[in-house]
A and B are shown apart, each in its own frame.
Chain A
Amino acid sequence: MSEPALDPRERSRIVRDGLGVGIATGTYGISFGAVAVGAGLSVAQTCALSLIMFTGASQFALVGVLAAGGTPLSGALTAILLGTRNTLYGLRLAPLLDWSGARRAAGAHLVIDESTAMSVTRTSTPAARVGFVSTGVTIFILWNAATLIGALGGRALGDPRTYGLDAAVGAAFLALLWPRLHNRRNRVTALAAAGVALSLVPVTAAGVPVLASAGVALLIGALWPGPDETEWPEVDR
């Protein structure tokens, strides 16, 4: 795509929106840092997750499965399965961002819910790039700084149960799930997946129930016809 250069006022408006979403989202990193250390990860492992994985739901999933006594392998697989939605975002963003080579490789790291939401609705490549980069870079910097603060704070706190941090993990997953419960198919999927997971808890190793719940998505996705537009994440503005 080739478009005329972006109007400066339009550009600064997009940047301002990106910064706002970035600040609101980046600070979640505090809760991730505190929860990860409470789950038994070292501060270095916690920070490595935010730097390398850099996709919140997968990071929470890895530490959540470990905290529940699951093996590192089942934690990693759950995180990777959750990371597949970023592939879909990338597919939709690719023609809009129109990057190749080193820029594409660097940009790929920033493909997450919020950067996608702030760029996928733009109508030109320059506008999409400004929205994507301003949101993605702001979140990357703040998410990593906040992770370190949360991890150091979490270590200083001691036993996470005293502060209810074990309950915070469930709340974090629910907050990530909440905006996706807008139609009946998704609500049925969520309830069935929770039921399948709980019924497997007593009879399988920790970590397996969550992985098995992906089967519910396969089944309902294959059998339940209906609108199949890819859903875009919502963001706090």
Chain B
Amino acid sequence: MIWWAVLGAGVACYLLKLAGLSVPARVLEHPVVERIADLIPVALLAALVAVQVFASGPALVLDARAVGLGAAILLLMARAPFLVVVFGAALVAALVRLV
């Protein structure tokens, strides 16, 4: 099943890119469509942050991951590069679990 998701979503993502280069721009040139298209990644990424950090199965929890997220916010505010943010958050969460 995971293979189907990997291959199916992979090919679909390629076709979405190809569609952009191929269809005439006016097809999507409606202000509301453009606005929604800009907001979809914002909504999905925010939801992914929330679920990754505060969900454990069907339960909402506050654990080391939330501390890791706090570290990520501080690193982003300090304009740290992507890898520093990601592994910095992991390191902080790992340290919290040690103590």
Contact = CB atoms under 8 A, between A and B. Distances in A.
A28 B83 CA distance: 6
Interface residues of B, number: 76
A190 B46 CA distance: 5
Contacts of A84: 16, 37, 40
Contact of A80 (B16, B38, B53, B60): B16
A141 interface: no
A163 B6 contact: no
Given A201-B60, A221-B36, A170 B46 contact: no
Nearest to A197: B47
Contacts of B57: 69, 206
B99 interface: no
Contacts of B45: 57, 82, 173-174, 176-177, 180, 190
For the residues of A in contact with B, the DSSP-based class is helix
Contacts of B35: 221-222, 224, 226, 228
Listed residue (B86, B91, B94) with the most chain A CB atoms within 10 angstroms of its CB: B86
For the residues of B in contact with A, the DSSP-based class is helix
Interface residues on A, range: 35 or more
Contact of B17 (A49, A73, A87): A87
A52 B65 CA distance: 30
A87 B34 contact: no
Contacts of B76: 174-175, 178
Interface in A50-99: 51-55, 57-58, 60-62, 64-69, 71-73, 75-95, 97, 99
Interface string A20-60: 00001101101100000000110001001101111101101
Interface in B64-99: 64-65, 67-69, 71-73, 76, 81-83, 85-95, 97
19 contacts: A41-B6, A52-B11, A57-B45, A77-B9, A86-B16, A86-B20, A90-B20, A108-B17, A108-B20, A111-B17, A164-B94, A170-B68, A171-B85, A177-B45, A190-B43, A209-B51, A222-B35, A224-B35, A228-B31
Interface of A: 24-25, 27-28, 30-31, 40-41, 45, 48-49, 51-55, 57-58, 60-62, 64-69, 71-73, 75-95, 97, 99, 104-105, 107-109, 111, 161-178, 180-181, 185-186, 189-198, 201-203, 206, 209-210, 212-214, 216-218, 220-222, 224, 226, 228-231, 236
